[in-house]
Chain A
Amino acid sequence: MNLICTGCSWTYGVELPGDQPYKRAWPAHLGKLLDMPVINLGENSCSNEQIVNNFLLYASQNKIEPGSIAIMATTQFNRKMGWRTDSQNKHIQRERSPHELINMHRYWISLHTSDGKHPEVLPAWEAYVKEEHCETEMISRNLMHVAQFQLACKALGIKHYVKPAWCHPPKLMKGLIQQEILNIDNLIDWENIGTYPLINYIVNEVGEEKIWEDEIFDAIGVHREFDLSKYMHDLGHPTEEGHKLIAEKLYKWIKE
């Protein structure tokens, strides 16, 4: 039985010190609380499609035992999976991966990383933003990934939870799709999706009330007026204290 956590930088543990941040990120702490070995499939800067694909890649190459738990920590909806063609010949490993099946810079990446890590995909990112990107597209595409994750878990016979990390909570965004033909709400098991993002555990801890209904597109910026330094690093990721707090709250949620 394993605790399998798939997500973005928030699951990987970006900004935590050391070259193996995932060993101090929330999945590690939650694994201790649940007394389960942890498989961390967190990938820095990835999209929700990659988050699901990483999970499926793991599932295809490993036996997943009954009793395992899978958690998908969703990320920004505007991230979109793209392919890094020149990854065939270059093996750049700038960050150590939490799992042998995760590689931050080869094959599939998120096109939004064209602003720094992968400038070669900038034209593809620009084309997507100009020609396809809109609220309906983002929500439709990302909710499909949530549904695919849940159904994959159901097929594998394991418990599953979805929790947004720091923005774009699926539960608060689903109502924004008006077109019947794009609506897959009924395919999603909303009971097992946390309403508010992991970042809310932190901002609630410092005394802020939730303000998500009106601020869903700018999560981190909104909370800058509060002193989050105990729980948050400068670039917007949790400190180890923040990760511990998240793990404790997730543990309580899972047990409930």
Chain B
Amino acid sequence: MLIVIGCSWSYGNEIPEHDCFNYAWPVHLGKHLNKEVVNLAQPGGSNENAIINFMTFIANNKVPADTLAIFQTTEFTRKAGFKKSSIENPFKGKLIKPSKWVDRFNGWLSIHKGADEQKEFKNSWKTYATIQMCPEELVHRNLMQIYKFQMMCKALNIKHLTKPAWTHPAHKVQHIIKKHKLLDITNGIDWSLVSNKLMIEHIFDTHGFNPNIEWSKLEGPKPKKYKPYIGDQLFHEYHPNKDGHKIIADCIYNELNLHRM
């Protein structure tokens, strides 16, 4: 089994088909590995949401031996919040879900400003962004999710890889908490199983494009900005297109081979 957790980059957003996740990189990688794919990607989800989805799935399903889990990390500014109204007034999601264990419209959602659910979380987001958010908070909170993911996989004998999608690569931003003893969890993380190459970089490489991004900073990038340089055949506005997803799957497959997974 190949279990994938992540955000829109794993869900297949912008692929025009209704069942976009059937064209996203996890499907191609599953074919390369000859493994059944469980795609738990949640469009708009935070890294915390990814861990919640992972826990919910493994709590309720038998995970076969030789399972591989891939944690596609997303932007660190996203934060899990609970949609209280979904308890009192549940309704079905508008999008087809790749797995019944993922719900984009009820329960745990991301309160980040781009999410559809912003109205529900207006003050939660505002007070987070204005009172709490800072580089140390962002990096510590999100690296903690990677640490927890690795610990859970280790406990359950699940092989694992963490792969950044388009921003905030853990390798490059860890320096922000390393200098704070009370926040430094970097020694707990198995960095050999955290890719230092972002998915978007594989697409840059294919196009021979070198945008000179300072990944060690938390500001960017905005994928839309790179659209003119990487062409229509690999990229939509914010997300890879079908060919882009195939390239990502090929590159992750090569990376897994290096780890003999």
Contacts and interface: CB of A to CB of B under 8 A. Distances in A.
Interface in B143-166: 144, 147-148, 150-152, 154-156
A155 B155 contact: yes
A59 interface: yes
B123 A179 contact: no
In this complex, the member of B58, B82, B83, B90 whose beta carbon has the largest number of chain A beta carbons within 10 angstroms is: B82
Nearest to A100: B181
B32 to A, nearest CB: 28
Contact of A101 (B58, B155, B156, B182): B182
B134 A88 contact: yes
Interface in B87-133: 87, 90, 100-101, 103, 106-108, 120-124, 126-128, 131-133
Contact of A187 (B55, B133, B148): B55
B52 A151 contact: no
Given A130-B123, A132-B82, A184-B56, A124 B188 contact: no
A181 B82 contact: no
Contacts of B255: none
Interface size class of B (residues with CB under 8 A): 35 or more
Interface string A130-143: 11111011001100
The 3 A-B residue pairs whose C-beta atoms are closest, nearest first, are A60-B188, A127-B123, A187-B59
Contacts of A101: 181-182
Contacts of B58: 187
B30 interface: no
24 contacts: A56-B148, A57-B183, A59-B188, A61-B184, A83-B132, A84-B132, A85-B137, A103-B182, A107-B182, A107-B183, A124-B132, A127-B124, A127-B126, A131-B120, A134-B82, A140-B82, A141-B82, A179-B87, A179-B90, A180-B60, A181-B100, A181-B103, A183-B59, A184-B55
Contact of B133 (A83, A103, A151, A182): A83
Nearest to A144: B55
A66 to B, nearest CB: 15
Given A124-B132, A152-B148, A179-B106, 5 more contacts: A56-B144, A61-B187, A107-B183, A152-B151, A155-B152
A151 B59 contact: no
A182 B126 CA distance: 26
State the majority secondary structure of interface residues on B: helix
Contacts of A100: 181
A53 B144 contact: yes
A141 B147 CA distance: 18
A60 B185 contact: yes
Contacts of A88: 134, 136
Nearest to A137: B82
Interface residues of A, number: 51
B207 interface: no
B186 interface: yes
Nearest to B185: A60
B223 interface: no
Nearest to A186: B59
Contact of A60 (B83, B155, B187): B187
B151 A151 contact: yes
Nearest to A152: B151
A181 B126 contact: no
Interface in A169-184: 179-184
B87 A134 contact: yes
A144 B108 CA distance: 12
B81 interface: yes
Nearest to A187: B59
B148 A123 contact: no
B84 A132 contact: yes
Contacts of A188: 59
Interface string A174-205: 00000111111111100000000000000000
Contact of A124 (B100, B128, B180): B128
